């Protein structure tokens, strides 16, 4: 029989995917929708561009007149962007026109100012080649009306927000992300504004986790629990009523004061698993409630906490939202040995070779409490279980906790 208290990495991923959060749709003002996951499809309400758009300041002519050898044109009128469409009634004349204006009727070519001279209402062409239809962004040349512009499930960056504005979406339907709280535990932790005693440390994990969730578009509150069973039970009862997702750090190992698992169970949370066959990050507790609450209790050591956050919680959010999950593969640039029969996560620095190959260098550290080592890393190499020797040149999974654009 499988031991649900000490499961494999693959089994843990399978269990959390069996319990995605309940998805709801809300309508956000366009000003607040950036970073959200789109819950509708953007459809073009008109052609893009919606008219034959002039792309250079200059004059609009009928090309046939130029083709017959005409080099001088009388200016019939001047048209600014935003004006109604004009009409070039006389093909031997021209219309002075500005960028963004609609192309005049009976004209088909735009010549920029730098290729002409203007004097006393007349235009003389300089000796530059002219192509019929030049400097015009023709109606529907990008997309036709009813075309799909942005698909449901896309994350809304500035580009998608611009599209929404262009089709008149003042409010956008987006996925409502779960209300989330990050909870530190332990009497050895003090607030970042306090001066710790020699036996205390400042709360740091929760701020790193909060920033990570913010990068994913999830706003999270911060709370702290002391190592007192009754106070912990009372506080967690209220937090379970208020929030959809609880992410706790510490209090899930086998220490005498690690009350968290028993308190959660006493409050009606069903334990899905407690320990994972991995290093670091073995004591990772996941539970659910009948009313769709999800509780992730991470190990207290910072490196372990980071490993579980990016290896499991990120995948859970991506899967729940129907997003493509990260799947980076990198080349190990040195031999490495890890004897225990566990999935092994190792901090690593990556670089991109001139041929585009992504290589990873494992970093030495002082264990799962050495969070200063994370500053030098780009993420974690994930080495599979049931294997001890990992060779230079082999490909392995890489879990990034940085935006790696600086490498490109």
Domain ranges of the chain: 9-21+178-321, 28-48+148-175, 53-137, 328-407
Q: How sure is the predictor about 171, in pLDDT bands with cuts at 50, 70 and 90?
A: very high
Please give the pLDDT value at position 367: 62
């499961």: which residue's tokens?
A: 7
Please give the pLDDT value at position 1: 39
Taking residue 362's Cβ as centre, other Cβ atoms within 10 Å add up to 19
User: Does 328-407 match 28-48+148-175 at the fold level?
Assistant: no
Least confident of 88-92, 135-139, 205-209: 205-209
Please give the pLDDT value at position 404: 64
Give the β-pairing of 42-43 and 343-352: unpaired
* pLDDT, tens digit (0-9, with 9 covering 90-100), for 357-407: 999 999 987 665 566 778 889 999 999 999 999 999 999 999 998 876 555
**Per-residue pLDDT at 303 exceeds 50:** yes
Please give the pLDDT value at position 291: 93
Spatial distance between the Cα atoms of 183 and 75, rounded to a whole number of angstroms:
72
Torsion angle of the four alpha carbons 220, 221, 222, 225, in this order, in degrees rounded to the nearest 10: -110
Mean pLDDT of the chain: 91
Domain 328-407 has CATH 1.10.390.10: no
Buried b / exposed e along 214-242 (16+ C-beta atoms within 10 A): eebbbebeebbbebeeeebbebbeebbee
Would you state the CATH architecture of domain 53-137?
A: Beta Complex (2.170)
**Per-residue pLDDT at 29 exceeds 70:** yes
Spatial distance between the Cα atoms of 36 and 34, rounded to a whole number of angstroms:
6
Total number of residues shown for the chain: 408
Would you state the CATH architecture of domain 9-21+178-321?
A: 3-Layer(aba) Sandwich (3.40)
**Per-residue pLDDT at 36 exceeds 60:** yes
């290093």: which residue's tokens?
A: 279
Domain 28-48+148-175 has CATH 3.90.105.10: yes
> Could you tell me the sign of the dihedral formed by the alpha carbons of 388, 393, 397, 402, in that order?
positive
Average pLDDT over residues 171-188: 92
> Is the model's pTM score more than 0.75?
yes
Please give the pLDDT value at position 2: 47
Average pLDDT over residues 119-138: 96
% of residues, the chain, pLDDT over 90: 75
Least confident of 66-80, 244-258, 281-295, 310-324: 244-258
Please give the pLDDT value at position 3: 52
Distances (CA, A) of 236 to 68, 219, 231, 248, 272: 85, 19, 8, 10, 18
Please give the pLDDT value at position 337: 96
* pLDDT, tens digit (0-9, with 9 covering 90-100), for 184-225: 988 888 788 888 888 877 788 899 999 999 988 899 999 998
């Amino acid at each position: 029989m499988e031991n649900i208290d000490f499961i494999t990495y693959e089994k843990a991923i399978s269990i959390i995917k069996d319990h995605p959060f309940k998805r709801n749709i809300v309508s956000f003002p366009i000003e607040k929708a950036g970073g959200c996951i789109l819950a509708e499809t953007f459809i073009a309400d008109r052609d893009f561009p919606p008219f034959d758009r002039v792309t250079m300041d200059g004059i609009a002519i009928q090309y046939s007149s130029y083709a017959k050898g005409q080099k001088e044109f009388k200016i019939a009128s001047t048209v600014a962007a935003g004006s109604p469409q004009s009409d070039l009634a006389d093909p031997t004349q021209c219309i002075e026109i500005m960028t963004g204006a609609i192309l005049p009727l009976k004209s088909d070519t735009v010549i920029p100012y730098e290729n002409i001279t203007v004097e006393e209402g007349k235009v003389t062409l300089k000796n530059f080649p002219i192509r019929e239809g030049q400097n015009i962004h023709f109606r529907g040349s990008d997309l036709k009306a009813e075309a799909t512009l942005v698909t449901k499930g896309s994350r809304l960056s500035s580009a998608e927000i611009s599209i929404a504005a262009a089709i008149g979406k003042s409010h956008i339907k987006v996925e409502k992300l779960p209300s989330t709280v990050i909870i530190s535990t332990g009497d050895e932790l003090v607030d970042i504004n306090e001066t710790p005693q020699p036996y205390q440390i400042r709360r740091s994990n929760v701020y790193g986790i909060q920033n990570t969730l913010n990068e994913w578009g999830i706003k999270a509150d911060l709370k702290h629990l002391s190592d007192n069973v009754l106070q912990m039970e009372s506080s967690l009862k209220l937090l379970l009523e208020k929030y959809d997702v609880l992410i706790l750090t510490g209090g899930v190992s086998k220490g005498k004061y690690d009350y968290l698992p028993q308190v959660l169970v006493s409050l009606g949370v069903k334990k899905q698993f407690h320990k994972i066959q991995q290093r670091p990050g073995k004591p990772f507790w996941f539970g659910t409630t009948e009313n769709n609450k999800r509780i992730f209790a991470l190990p207290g050591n910072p490196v372990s906490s980071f490993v579980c956050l990016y290896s499991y919680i990120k995948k859970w959010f991506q899967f729940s939202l129907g997003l493509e999950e990260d799947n980076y593969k990198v080349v190990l640039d040195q031999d490495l040995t890890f004897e225990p029969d566990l999935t092994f996560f190792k901090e690593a620095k990556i670089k991109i070779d001139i041929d585009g190959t992504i290589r990873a260098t494992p970093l030495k550290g002082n264990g799962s409490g050495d969070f200063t080592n994370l500053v030098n890393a780009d993420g974690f190499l994930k080495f599979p279980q049931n294997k001890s020797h990992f060779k230079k040149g082999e490909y392995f999974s890489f879990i990034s906790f940085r935006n790696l654009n600086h490498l490109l």
